[in-house]
Amino acid sequence: MTSDHAVDHAHDIDRQVRIYITVFVSLMALTIITVAISRFHPPVAVAVSIAMLVATIKGSLVACYFMHLISEKKLIYAVMALTVVFFVVLLAVPVITHNNGFWIH
Amino acid sequence: MEIPYTVELRRDTGLNNGKIGIWLFLASEVMLFGALFASYILIRTGSPNWPRGDTILNVPLATFNTIVLISSSVTMVMAWASLKRNRFGTFRMYQASTVLLGGVFLVVKYFEYSHKFENGLFPSTSNFLALYFTLTGLHMLHVIGGMAVNTYFWGPGAKLWKTNPDWFTNRVEHAGLFWHFVDLVWIFLFPTLYLL
């Protein structure tokens, strides 16, 4: 029984390691894509949208798999949800109070 | 007096205390960098002219540093996985790689900063450079802090593995959470400062 459990545990870790390698390759590819797109000098609004979208995908991969957020307990989700709310408010304040809108210049 | 809930899980949260502690700390860190990102948006949108980052900063070097930091995140999580597999020797190899990659990041940053200073580009030169040095400087302090902790767990702190391997594994996981956060911040700093 104990040895079966140990084998299952080892398989779980092996599976996780394969996921880490996949995430690593994805992060590398997304980094190259970000730099490549910026070389075409798209309009600022488009450049910001693409760069932030790719950065958000990369950040989510790091948080979900390297930081194991994908399989965390409820309390950690609650702490992070509250943090995200305050973070969004913090970023929204300069955006909504600026007369000329977002990324005009 | 023994520290409670270092390995065993609390009944009310299903977590050990160290993990709750590090996530609360990371929440405060999100707000710290969030305040600086908000300042960046406010100053940039309020400025009549704003330079593209790649006209002032070295994109190839920063891309290299991005790859270095992402690689260090992988070696960090592999170090933790090695402990879970009961392979202490492999843990030390990955942990040393994490610290070394952090060192490479700092060396590259040193060359970047030196080049700016040689060309008379200081935080007082422009709003863009003030934000660049503030954001990357604060991030660098986090890299140094993370390296110090990771070096401790590679060296003297690793003694705990012999007496309480589960606790040691948890401590490495918590140090790893901080290191991944440092990587995560850079993932947003890189396009914000260098590419836009």
Over 50: is that where the pLDDT of A105 sits?
no
B188 at the A interface (CB within 8 A)?
yes
* Low-confidence spans in chain B with pLDDT less than 50: none
In this structure, is residue B9 part of a structural domain?
Answer: no
- Report pLDDT digits (tens) over A42-89: 888 899 899 999 999 999 999 999 999 999 999 999 999 999 999 999
Predicted local confidence at residue B126, as pLDDT: 95
Residue of A nearest to B23 (CA): A76
Determine the Cα–Cα distance for residues B186 and B109; give it in Å rounded to an integer: 13
In this structure, is residue B93 part of a structural domain?
Answer: yes
In this structure, is residue B11 part of a structural domain?
Answer: no
Contact A17 B78 (CB under 8 A): yes
Residues 22-61 of A with CB under 8 A from B: 23-24, 27-28, 31, 34-35, 38, 41, 44, 47-48, 51-52, 54-55, 58-59
- Report pLDDT digits (tens) over B59-78: 999 999 999 999 999 999 99
Contact B38 A48 (CB under 8 A): no
Predicted local confidence at residue B2, as pLDDT: 79
Predicted local confidence at residue A91, as pLDDT: 85
Residue of B nearest to A94 (CA): B42
Q: Residue B15 gets which letter from DSSP?
A: S
In this structure, is residue B7 part of a structural domain?
Answer: no
In which domain, by residue range, is B69 found? 17-195
Give B41 or A10, the one with higher predicted confidence: B41
Global ipTM: 0.93
CATH no. for residue B69?
1.20.120.80
pTM of model > 0.90: yes
**Where does chain A have alpha helices with state H?**
2-39, 44-61, 74-96
In this structure, is residue B6 part of a structural domain?
Answer: no
In this structure, is residue B3 part of a structural domain?
Answer: no
In this structure, is residue B2 part of a structural domain?
Answer: no
Phi and psi dihedrals of B180, rounded to 5?
Answer: -65, -35
Task: Give the H or E element holding residue B43.
Answer: helix B17-45
> Residues in chain A, how many?
105
Predicted local confidence at residue A31, as pLDDT: 96
How many domains is chain B partitioned into structurally? 1
In this structure, is residue B1 part of a structural domain?
Answer: no
Determine the Cα–Cα distance for residues B98 and B90; give it in Å rounded to an integer: 12
A90 at the B interface (CB within 8 A)?
yes
